[in-house]
Chains A and B, each alone.
Chain A
Amino acid sequence: NAGVMQNPRHLVRRRGQEARLRCSPMKGHSHVYWYRQLPEEGLKFMVYLQKENIIDESGMPKERFSAEFPKEGPSILRIQQVVRGDSAAYFCASSPDRTKPDGYTFGSGTRLTVV
């Protein structure tokens, strides 16, 4: 019974390249949340998705960032033209039901380093 799977665990990109971060929720979970954690800071909400729908993207930067959760396959967080300030840990969480917060399970995260 696999948990939330994120890959890659570590990602290095040069400035200007694209970064794609993947998150496979737990089996039976249809809600996915992305969070970003900058060094020495707390986790900041980015986006909440259900299958094929973005429910809340209030935490997403206006440019270069996008997220999707297709009918088949993992949720993808895409960062275009990365800059040094994008270096952070990106965590994905999933839940079976948005009204049951105890069901939030986090993946191990993807650590993005922009050089």
Chain B
Amino acid sequence: RKEVEQDPGPFNVPEGATVAFNCTYSNSASQSFFWYRQDCRKEPKLLMSVYSSGNEDGRFTAQLNRASQYISLLIRDSKLSDSATYLCVVIGPAGNKLTFGGGTRVLVKP
């Protein structure tokens, strides 16, 4: 079983719609969780950290479910510029490296 798993998509989303997707992680002792965004052939960039209480940043909402070992990302009012690959990232108990999921591709269409 992979340490961090994501549905690769693509999720085809009409502009203005809401899209949500999850990521599961295997190590229950994982410490920290993040969503990164990666545009085609570019470096990953931090989108947001994911906190136990859930957190929101504008149109983006992240949730953590430790009992079921998954995190989620919801994007409201999707924009064309939201088209990207969203990477779920986990820091394990050793705390010394980011472990990436394979990414979920989102395509927002007019």
Of the residues B34, B41, B44, contact of A101 by C-beta under 8 Å: B34
Cβ–Cβ contact A42 & B100, under 8 A: yes
- Which B residues are in CB contact (< 8 Å) with A108? 42-43
Shortest distance in angstroms between A39's beta carbon and chain B's nearest beta carbon? 10
Known A42-B87, A45-B98, A101-B34; further 17 A-B contacts with Cβ < 8 A: A33-B98, A35-B98, A35-B100, A43-B44, A43-B98, A43-B100, A44-B100, A45-B97, A45-B100, A93-B98, A101-B98, A102-B46, A106-B43, A107-B43, A109-B42, A109-B43, A111-B41
Of the residues A45, A98, A109, contact of B95 by C-beta under 8 Å: A98
Cβ–Cβ contact A106 & B41, under 8 A: no
Q: Does A12 contact B (CB under 8 A)?
A: no
Give chain B's interface residues, CB within 8 Å of chain A.
32, 34, 41-46, 49, 87, 91, 94-103
Of the residues A44, A45, A89, contact of B41 by C-beta under 8 Å: A89
Q: Report Cα–Cα, A106/B32, bound state, in Å.
A: 18
Q: Report Cα–Cα, A19/B47, bound state, in Å.
A: 32
Q: With A42-B102, A101-B32 in contact, is A106–B44 under 8 Å at CB?
A: yes
